[in-house]
Chain A
Amino acid sequence: RKEVEQDPGPFNVPEGATVAFNCTYSNSASQSFFWYRQDCRKEPKLLMSVYSSGNEDGRFTAQLNRASQYISLLIRDSKLSDSATYLCVVNPGGGNKLTFGTGTQLKVEL
């Protein structure tokens, strides 16, 4: 079983739609959780950290469920510029080494 699992997609949605991505992780001792965004042939960039209480940044909302070892990302009012691969990322603890999922591809269409 992979340490971080995501549905690879692609998710094709119309502009303005709401879309949600989910991710599960296997290491119950994991300490920190993140969503990274990666555009085609570019480097990953931090989108947002994920906190147990849930956190929101504009159109983006992230949730963490430690009991179920489950992380989610919700994107509201999606824009064409949101088209990218969204990587679920876990810091298993100690040294800031990151464990990435395979990524979920989002395509926002007119």
Chain B
Amino acid sequence: GAGVSQSPRYKVAKRGQDVALRCDPISGHVSLFWYQQALGQGPEFLTYFQNEAQLDKSGLPSDRFFAERPEGSVSTLKIQRTQQEDSAVYLCASSLANPGLAKYNEQFFGPGTRLTVL
């Protein structure tokens, strides 16, 4: 079956440009997460949606980062006025159920979008 897909897979942006990264979660998955992974580091949490509601955005590094999931399925992570320190792999993950119903639901990751800011 189809897994989590992300597009584009690679994005090169000039400093100051705006970018939009798309995530298509597994069909029916309620929860959606965005992580940022810098070279040589583990993924770091950015934000979390339960259906269309953004329940946690504590990991977004600045107000240049914005995420949405308006219909509770596809999500977009937007970065405005990109800076060189934004260069990283942006990973999207989805999980099946409401976290309140289970101690943990496995998160399935997409292949990521590798963003390079020049």
Q: Which residues of A contact B (CB under 8 A)?
A: 4, 8, 31-32, 42-46, 49, 87, 89, 91, 94-103
Contacts and interface: CB of A to CB of B under 8 A. Distances in A.
B104 to A, nearest CB: 5
A43 B91 contact: yes
A102 to B, nearest CB: 5
A103 B56 contact: no
30 contacts: A8-B40, A31-B103, A31-B104, A32-B103, A32-B104, A42-B111, A43-B110, A44-B43, A46-B106, A46-B107, A49-B104, A89-B42, A91-B104, A95-B55, A95-B56, A95-B99, A96-B31, A96-B48, A96-B95, A96-B105, A97-B48, A97-B56, A97-B59, A98-B33, A98-B43, A98-B45, A99-B45, A101-B42, A102-B42, A103-B41
Given A43-B112, A96-B99, A97-B45, A102 B40 contact: yes
A42 B103 CA distance: 27
A49 B102 CA distance: 14
A35 B111 CA distance: 18
Interface of B: 31, 33, 35, 40-45, 48, 55-56, 59, 91, 95, 99, 103-107, 109-112
Contact of A43 (B31, B40, B111): B111
A102 B104 contact: no
A96 B98 CA distance: 9
Contacts of B107: 46, 96, 98
A100 B43 contact: yes
A31 B104 CA distance: 9
B57 to A, nearest CB: 11
A44 B109 contact: yes
A103 B109 contact: no
Nearest to A103: B42
Nearest to A105: B40
Given A43-B112, A45-B109, 18 more contacts: A8-B40, A32-B104, A43-B109, A43-B111, A46-B106, A46-B107, A49-B104, A95-B55, A95-B99, A96-B31, A96-B48, A96-B104, A96-B105, A97-B48, A97-B59, A98-B33, A98-B35, A102-B40
